[in-house]
Amino acid sequence: MLLTPFEITALVLSIQVSVVAVVASLVPGIAVAWLLARCRFPGKALVDGFIHLPLVLPPVVVGYTLLVLLGRRGVLGAWLYGVFGITFAFNWKGAALASAVVSFPLLVRAIRLSLEAVDRRLEAAARTLGAGRPRVFLTVTLPLTAPGLLTGTILAFARSLGEFGATITFVSNIPGETQTLPLALYSLVQQPSGDAAAGRLVVISIVLSLAALVASELVARRVRRQIGSAA
């Protein structure tokens, strides 16, 4: 089944947006997961709830909030555009930002669970051998959290592929610029003769998302086996 130029454009843009969203979220996600897993501070429950808020909020609310904050005339958007010439609204970078916000809780949760499962005695042993905290984190903690890190990354990627509400609210549905697979599917179902093309996009979306989820499970299993054999 050969893809049409319309399908290729939507598919490539979806992958581009999802990859950028995940890469941009990775370092903040690790930092936030470590903070929630290892630190005690006043208001921790509130911070935890705020991080996971995009999971329960309607995506349109997330998109509208981003538009108010980062639109060309938004609270932060006007400053970013005036000082740096950067704008997120109505372009693919905004689509990546919307996807990153919506998928961020999945990334954080997977990494946090892995961090909480790490045997703290291994970190303590490394410190008694003279390793500083940054080195212990990079050489002991982070490798042990690899299954959760990989799982969270691929789950966030899959969630970004399916993002619709926040994206269409924040960056609209512009062919070739912000029209990812879900938005292209939405456009087709609005057309009287678009059922066949919409069905093809449904199949493409299912195959792509299922491949990401299966890859997540296979990679996580392999890493767990490697860690188990090394131990």
One-letter identity of residue 21: A
Domain count, the chain: 1
- CA atoms within 13 A of residue 100's CA, in its CB half-sphere: 21
Give, to the nearest 10 degrees, the angle between helix 195-230 and helix 5-38: 40
83: Cα separation from own chain's centroid: 28
Radius of gyration of the chain (CA): 20
Model confidence pLDDT, tens digit, residues 177-226? 999 999 999 999 988 888 889 999 999 999 988 888 887 778 777 777 77
Would the pTM count as exceeding 0.95?
A: no
In which domain, by residue range, is 43 found? Answer: 5-230
Tokens matching residue 87:
């704008």
Model confidence pLDDT, tens digit, residues 85-98? 889 989 999 999 99
Span 54-62, average pLDDT: 94
